[in-house]
A = this chain, B = another copy of it.
């Protein structure tokens, strides 16, 4: 195999399995040996490619988490349509993968935020950056929606974004416990309700 290809392959195998296990068991409860065992690799291989466990994790955040968040939660809400419709569709899709016990990266993000909060500033900075990017894009989308007449003129777009993000992070916590499918259904029905309350009101004659 091509050398740089091999390097990439090993690094990516490590990162993919790393994210998988970190998500399933938590960062502090996942040892490097756990990851290596699953891949039939050795300590030497790991420390040849990564400086430390923390460096490894940060690269996972940058290379996997950030991109996935972008493609599942940010990119889908870009465009000139009604942002409320786009966000609804986007959440519906993301939660559907969550119902089927797959990795929902929104959940991955909020789990890590909870796990590292107050424990590791360096990691927190990287995680918060993703949150900020999401937030900025949400605000932009809502403002554009307001400009295009989809949202009520009085809507505070920053506040709406905070609320939308909150509810999404939160429902992922709830879905982990029981009856994720019904939780999803209930959540979606009420976020629609909320969206209805901030959409542009028909003009009175």
Contacts and interface: CB of A to CB of B under 8 A. Distances in A.
A154 to B, nearest CB: 10
A65 to B, nearest CB: 15
Given A166-B187, A171-B162, A186-B156, A114 B119 contact: no
B186 A193 contact: no
Contact of A173 (B110, B159, B183): B110
A16 interface: no
Contact of A197 (B162, B185, B197): B197
A113 B166 contact: no
Interface of A is mostly: helix
Number of copies of this chain that the complex holds: 2
A174 B167 contact: no
A12 interface: no
Interface in A89-143: 110-111, 113-115, 117-119, 124, 128, 131
Interface centre among A156, A160, A163, A168 (most CB of B within 10 A): A163
A203 interface: no
